[in-house]
Amino acid sequence: MFSNKKVYLTAPSYELGNLKDIETLDELKEDNQILETLLKFGLKKYAKSHLPPLVMAKQTAKYTLEKVSITRKEIDVLIYATSSFWDSRFYDGKEVSRLSYELGLENAYPIGVFLSECGNIHTAIRTAASLIQAGECRNILVVTTDQTQEGGTRIIPPNISIASDAAASCIVSAEKGDFEIIHITQHTNAAMSELDINEKSEEYMYAVTEGIKQTLWKAMKFIEKEPRDFQQLITNNYSLLLSKTISDLGGFDFEQVYTENIARFAHALASDNLINLCDLFNNNYLNSQDLLLLLGTGSNMWGATILSKL
């Protein structure tokens, strides 16, 4: 964040596929050991959608837009984040423009985000916040959406969760909203591109833990806060074991980590952070001025967004 201009995040929403027991996954039926490990560490269900990513994106965007007084003509930019590249229609510029048209976003310029994988939401929010702080925009719709290809694996290596189909959205705005965006930081380790998770799993996992530590440390140091200052640490929905490891790496108590959706739908890729934030908000778990730290992780990229509840 590079200026003193305040930026807000409001109306988090999501669209989730149909919930199914993880025991019904064919690939887990074939490997009972992985299934038992996942069940032991809190995984129960995953979400499978018959809707393609663009349609899920449209659904969650409608939920977000219905929650705010901002008119659709006042949306300056649509930031569309996805890692679902197995069908080019899911990220084709004309198709995303059609999404804007169907939503009535006649003034919204589309911007695509994809490199940060399960941390895409932080790149999207950071991009939106920067445009607002630069004075170029006032209201930006952020959408992230992903779906696993039929027949593709849903097991997140190294056996830490199950992928779910989902989309999530919010508005980043210069106008006061549900949360103030306090700070966004991102961290990457380019050398990890040379590490094969199967051949050098120990070295790979060490690099992952160091990346998480660096990202959390950088975010908290920038605003001069400690783990005890945060009401909640919101992470991707990995196993309870990995969630505990993440809390330990950052110096948080495990009770600060939001884990309720791990059993409910497992890992909705880059949508996890916004879905968890939405559920916290809708269930009245938050009070004014509560500090929240959202952590998103890709294979070698990490992002942290700090919010204050208004």
Residue-wise pLDDT for 249-290, tens only, equals: 999 999 999 999 999 999 999 999 999 999 999 999 999 999
Mean pLDDT of the chain: 95
Query: In whole angstroms, what is the distance from residue 215 CA to residue 221 CA?
Result: 10
Nearest CA to 122 among 174, 154, 170?
170
pLDDT value at position 216? Answer: 97
Tokens matching residue 70? 């901002």
136 CB neighbour count, 10 Å cutoff:
11
Phi and psi at 83, nearest 5°, equal -120, 10
Query: When comparing pLDDT for 131 and 299, which is higher?
Result: 131
Q: Cα separation of 123 and 114, whole Å?
A: 9
pLDDT of 3: 59
Give pLDDT tens digits for 10-49. Answer: 999 999 999 999 999 999 998 899 999 999 999 999 999 9
Rounded CA gap, 128 and 118, in Å? 18
Q: What percent of the chain has pLDDT over 90?
A: 90
What is the pLDDT, as a whole number, of residue 304?
98
Name which residue leads in pLDDT, 198 or 167: 167
Has residue 234 got a pLDDT over 60?
yes
Q: How confident is the model at residue 299 (pLDDT cuts 50, 70, 90)?
A: confident
| Tokens of residue 247, six digits | 């809390």
Averaged pLDDT for residues 233-258? 97
